[in-house]
Structure 1
Amino acid sequence: MDPFHLFEYSVVLHVHSQYSDGTGTVADIIQAGQAAGVDIVILTDHDTLQPRHDRYGEGYYGRLLFLVGGEITPQQNHLLALFVDQLPNPDLPWGDIVQAVNRREGLSFVAHPVDQGSPFLKLPSYRWTERGVRTFTGIEVWNHLSSWLPSVTNTPTALRAILDPWWRIQGPDPAALQLWDELGQMQRVVGIAGVDAHAARVGGRRLGFTVFPYLVSFQTLRTQIYVPQPLTYHDLGFDQQLIYDALKEGRVALMACREGTEKGFRLWAQTSTHKWPMGSEVPWQSGLTLKATSPVLVSWRVWHNGMLAGDGVGLIGDWPITGPGVWRVELLRGRKQRPWLFSNPIYVREA
């Protein structure tokens, strides 16, 4: 049921090491990625690509591919920059930061765009405010740390939340989904999921503890990518290009690992003569349908420009595309019917 014969890989994005404000070494992060069973880990330390020169730099570690990007961190409006050889100065105007990444043909994702911060923990909001600049690749629709922080309002809730990385988290912030749907009506905006892992230490060496070790964070959210050829696990440049193309073109889904990590989800649009994969911009025409498959039994929700446009239950989804706009699907599963997967959109544009 996959007309494009794509290969799927699980990516952990938005990770910090000792090279910025994380507590772990690069070796620690690679080991956690291997233990978590992910395929690709992309490190994004603040304003540095120095981990590329670490003893454990970019490359293959068994069946794990480790890559290094960066998070550019002005006071507000943080930007994840991937596949670049240099990071722009965070003191530049934000539009210039985005353009600098574009000039280097990198990919740029607005980090935690609706972040609320935490007054109790004295963490400011790092939400995206530069809404006039839209030349980035996409946005971090689901950031685990930003989703978790609002539940921490006092000492009892802090203790409860530290024990459960999913406490009070049901899905991405609705404001992030709304923003994504609105932006997508103007241009392709690739959505990703980030863990924002720091393995933060609280307390002293003897009595302290780690809030969400890397292994725990790596089992919260994944960004699933879909590529036309399998990774070689020996040709780094070729494999990086596959990953780059998938992220740039929106062949990406957001996965909540609490509900499962099975691979096999696919989404595409088709007519009687043509098919387009997830992330495509498709000319509006009569006879367009939205097709999807799941590896497990799920409940489907179909969204059109942020409005519920269809639903269903099963392994296969099939819905008519009734007009131009942003079309994406959400998969729910389990006894509590919690969100599991969020597709990137099919963009149906006026011909």
Structure 2
Amino acid sequence: MRAQVSLSHEGGNETLTADFILSGLFPNMKYVSILIYTTILIYLAAVAGNLILLLLIWVDPRLHTPMYFLLSQLSLVDLALISSTVPKMVMNFFSGRKNITRLACGTQIFFFFTFGGAECILLTLMAYDRYVAVCNPLRYAVIMNHRVCLQMAILSWIAGILASTAHTSYTMNLPICRSREIHHFFCEMPAIMKISCKDTSTYELVVFVMGVAFIIIPFGLIMASYTFIFLTVVCMKPLQGRNKALATCSSHLTVVSFYLGPCVYMYMMPGSSHSPEQEQAVSVFCTVLTPMLNPLIYSLRNKDVVGAFQKVLRKRPVSKQNTKISQ
């Protein structure tokens, strides 16, 4: 039996143990194994899709543009985000163990918020890139130069790390006075706050303010960018250019709604307003489904990406055919 130490605390008796307990993905569900196997397939599809997109952007010179550079950063974030939660959940399910060490829990929170925060900033910067491309095309190469793109990527990662450090340091120092079972499939901050014996109402206000900085303000900037884009596109005379701009922008808006929408529900509303099952459902959508859908959304509706994929598939046969002709 795991050693336990009982300490007196302001809010009651705090039980200190080596590990937390993760309840898992919808533990009360009758056929949870089907859900786990489905999650594994989604995880593999997400990894494959994002890796293929990264490969295409790397090998095709036509995709060496600011838009695809930022998209490659988004794919990296999605790969890291889904890998920070799903593998541990699957390992616990097949091993029958539900424990996670305090260090591993803190690490999971840190990486989850790092990648989540970076994605919010990246989505905003991608909207700005589209704004410059559509509304100020003559200066696009000057404004979105290589140095600026690099600074954008660094900014998104640093912002995610700073926000994550604040959340992780607070969450992992919360006193736990009741059961150490986290009603979630990974170490999620709202779930840990619910099992703490400390009054977290003040910190919920801090979380709300952070949500404004990383969710509401980015969403407002994204919508402002697309408002200007829409007004510019409406005035475009060439129908082909208008359709291309709308297709690219609609793909990005779809990703934004899929990611920021659930984040508003999770971090902008009081924890008491949603149940553990609702929190898990939203988390599955944000951390599992969205990383799988992003490469599909950006590739299926993007002729440049589809063309790059077809080019890779045709590369060997074409080279062989050219060799025969030359002979």
TM-score tier by shorter-chain length is: under 0.3
Larger Rg: 2
With CA pairs under 8 Å and 6+ residues apart, which has the higher RCO, 1 or 2? Answer: 2
Larger helix proportion of the pair: 2
Give the TM-score taking structure 2 as reference length. Answer: 0.24
Q: Considering fraction of residues, name the structure with more strand.
A: 1
Q: TM-score, normalised by structure 1?
A: 0.23
